[in-house]
Amino acid sequence: MTKLSVNINKIATLRNSRGGNNPDVVKAAIDCQTFGADGITVHPRPDERHIRYADVREISKIITTEFNIEGNPKEDKFVQLVLEVKPHQVTLVPDDPGQLTSNHGWDTIKEREYLQGIIKVFKTAGIRVSIFVDPIESIVAAAPETGADRIELYTEDYAKNYTRNKEAAIASYLKAAAIADQKGLGLNAGHDLDMDNLRFFKQSIPTLSEVSIGHALISDALYYGLENVIQLYKRALTI
């Protein structure tokens, strides 16, 4: 079964817009677990514009499902946080410090040596490592040489083109998934997946281990309610 990890960054964005602790990010993590989420994802950035480092520490104390921390390991503060908290999984994303949202994956060929070194740091601490990559055959094929356990396919391009031609939109992801399977890599996916495009993505790629969804899911929760939306997304992952 493909797991649904709920990214709660947007809840933290709403809290930060007014100060105080409403909505309560830690309670949101607890509620997502209670409502059926298979995991919680957070992506702290250096400016702490949404999830704060303190949030990560507090969430780590109450997590009963899988905890996934995303971020750029070239930030020393991020590395230290992950080693302190020891989540089930760390997803390495090559974000620039001021970047609004993730918009590209690692070049596993050019950055192989760097990735090998930092991945070893996390794996030595007993943390599963996933790396964010574009659905490019050569990039996916080189990913095992970094030592990563999984890759997370960056799905913005799929989401953007899904309504025009879903078969064409999924094509590069099918090739990437096949290579990952051949290489023995676990397969995650994330970015702009939603209730419209998620089911087809899962049906097309049955080897999918996990999806991380935040913006669309939290937006849908405004209309349908958080508990209902988590179940709707999980249903889309059931084939």
3-class DSSP state of 149: coil
Taking each continuous run of H as one helix and of E as one strand, the counts in the chain are 11, 8
pLDDT at 173 over 60: yes
d(CA 21, CA 102): 26
Q: Which 8-state DSSP code applies to residue 214?
A: -
pLDDT at 95: 78
pLDDT at 25: 98
Q: What is the pLDDT of residues 176-186, one digit of tens each?
A: 999 999 999 99
Q: What is the pLDDT of residues 64-106, one digit of tens each?
A: 999 999 999 999 999 999 999 999 999 999 976 555 555 679 9
Q: β-strands 186-190, 210-213: how paired?
A: parallel
Catalytic residue among 50, 66, 70, 210: 70
Catalytic residue among 43, 50, 66, 210: 43
d(CA 202, CA 205): 5
β-bridge partners, 92: 71, 131
Identify whether the C-beta of residue 183 lies closer than 8 Å to the C-beta of residue 147.
Answer: no
Q: What is the pLDDT of residues 36-55, one digit of tens each?
A: 999 999 999 999 999 999 99
150: enclosing H helix or E strand: strand 150-154
Exposure on the CB side of residue 86, measured as CA atoms within 13 A: 6
pLDDT at 171 over 80: yes
Please give the CATH superfamily to which domain 3-236 belongs: Aldolase class I (3.20.20.70)
Percent of the chain with pLDDT over 90: 94
Rounded to an integer, the average pLDDT of 139-161 is 98
Tokens of 223: 């209309």
Q: How many CB atoms lie within 10 A of CB 20?
A: 8
Task: Based on the residue annotation, tell me whether 215 is a catalytic residue of this protein.
Answer: no
Task: Based on the residue annotation, tell me whether 43 is a catalytic residue of this protein.
Answer: yes
d(CA 45, CA 229): 26
Average pLDDT, the chain: 95
pLDDT at 110 over 90: yes
β-bridge partners, 210: 3, 188
Catalytic residue among 50, 66, 152, 191: 191
Identify whether the C-beta of residue 159 lies closer than 8 Å to the C-beta of residue 191.
Answer: yes
pLDDT at 99: 53
Exposed/middle/buried for residue 96 (C-beta within 10 Å: 0-12, 13-18, 19+): exposed
Q: Quickly state the pLDDT bin for 148 (edges 50, 70, 90).
A: very high
